[in-house]
Amino acid sequence: MDQVASLQWVQESISDFGGDPTSVTIFGESAGAISVSALVLSPVSKGLFHRAIAESGVVRMLSMVVSKFEDLIKNQNLVAKISGCDLASIADCLKKKSEKEFLAIAKAMGMQPFPASVDGVFLPKPPEEMLANKESNKVPFIIGMNNHEFGWVAPMLLNVTGITEGMTRESVISTLQNLPLLGLSPEVIPFAVEEYIGGTTNLVEIRDHFLDLCGDIMFVIPAVNIARYYRDMGLPVYFYEYQHPPSLLAPTRPSYVKGDHTDELLFVFGGPFLRDDVIFAGNATNEEKHLARAVMRYWANFARNGDPNSPGLTAWPQYGTDEHYMELNLKQKSSSKLKEKRVKFWTEILPKKILSGAKDEIDHKEL
């Protein structure tokens, strides 16, 4: 609701800054992208913006939204303990905290995930139900992710260590069991490991498959699912996969890392053209400067008129039944059916396997 209040302020004040209240675009990355897709879904934010961009995150990511109040109790107790607030009056107590106190609380929380709740107001129903019923704000939408979302930053933040030289099948299973942010239930893990690792024994290949598995379930599959929903609503949807590992970051991470989580931000914000230790500033190749210009033009075009295309850019088709998407690399290219085999596994094959396993268990008990 704080973001809704901010957008309401924009509507009231943007004219004073030379802006147009009828032409507002929201965009965010990671947690910010989840917020963007939640705002697109929420009836409370209707009319407050007119286009949206979600980079590496959507509201349907596993473990990011809960429908039951009981699922929030653990997090509420944790906040109460760290903040020193009484649970019965925690909202009023937190409102009185200073910025410095809030930052200290956030630091103490670490990477503890805080899901949104189906509160009956901002989210009147579970997101999947709202999407199925086509209950959403009708705005043009750019949705996408990077091709190695779990390459380096996410494992570090989640304390997944010791994988640079490779992983064993057993360490993959153990790690998946101890990553609640992935939202993988115990019965899913064996199927996922078999799908991605199969009979592979090479430790480096196993690690690479593990990183792909985590990136797919956290970012790719939710993004594809939500893009399909909005496409089926008849809305202009543009989908992308960012692929280029910035040369600026090469000395700071292993060579196997491709387009990692947050990498696209260096080009969205024009990093190759920034100086004086500004965030995202640094040396870049001429090819990277061309990429930054292209990405900034795509984003700016979309912010102006809901369509990223303009003369001189590689044509970016809408995400239709052929599921076209843009490969954002040193050379841009339009492709279709991103990770088709993996998407089919998570959306079609796995649900059938789980259903079959549950039926077999019931039959066994009846015997």
Which sequence positions are flagged as catalytic?
30, 149, 261
The CB density around residue 212, as the number of other CB atoms within 10 Å, is: 19
DSSP 260: B
Closest CA to 53 of 201, 212, 230: 230
CA-based torsion, 149, 153, 157, 163: positive or negative: positive
* CA-based R_g, the chain, Å: 22
Closest CA to 59 of 123, 133, 107: 123
Q: Is 26 helix (H, G, I), strand (E, B) or coil?
A: strand
- Report how far apart, in Å, the C-alpha atoms of 174 and of each of 170, 187, 272 are: 6, 14, 40
CA-based torsion, 153, 116, 83, 80: positive or negative: negative
- Report how far apart, in Å, the C-alpha atoms of 338 and of each of 2, 121, 234 are: 35, 34, 20
